[in-house]
Amino acid sequence: MHEALALMLPLGVGGVLGAIFFGGLWWTVRRAVSSPRVALWFFGSLVLRMGIVLAGFFAVCGSDWRRWLAALVGFVLARVAVTRLTRSADAETSHAP
């Protein structure tokens, strides 16, 4: 039981880092399309988001593979949540044939 509780912290941190990563990607796409320097927006955003996520994962998980797996599960769950929250009404009603 204690081991399961110890994995809740990496799971939660993975979720927060996933929300930062994918929320930041959504924000970047919305801002970059109207910018004259699209490549700079995407490259700068990628470097910043990857730096935050990797630093967070290393700080919380260390060398324990179970903590890494829990953080990765939280990260993927955050991707699903951000994708559902940022989906526009047009994307839900229009389907490709």
Neighbouring residues of 82: CB distance < 8 A, sequence distance ≥ 6? 18, 19, 22, 23, 26
Share above pLDDT 90 across residues of the chain, in percent, rounded to a whole number? 74
Note the pTM of the prediction, 2 decimals: 0.84
Summarize pLDDT for 52-91 with one digit per residue, the tens.
Answer: 999 999 999 999 999 999 999 999 999 999 999 988 644 5
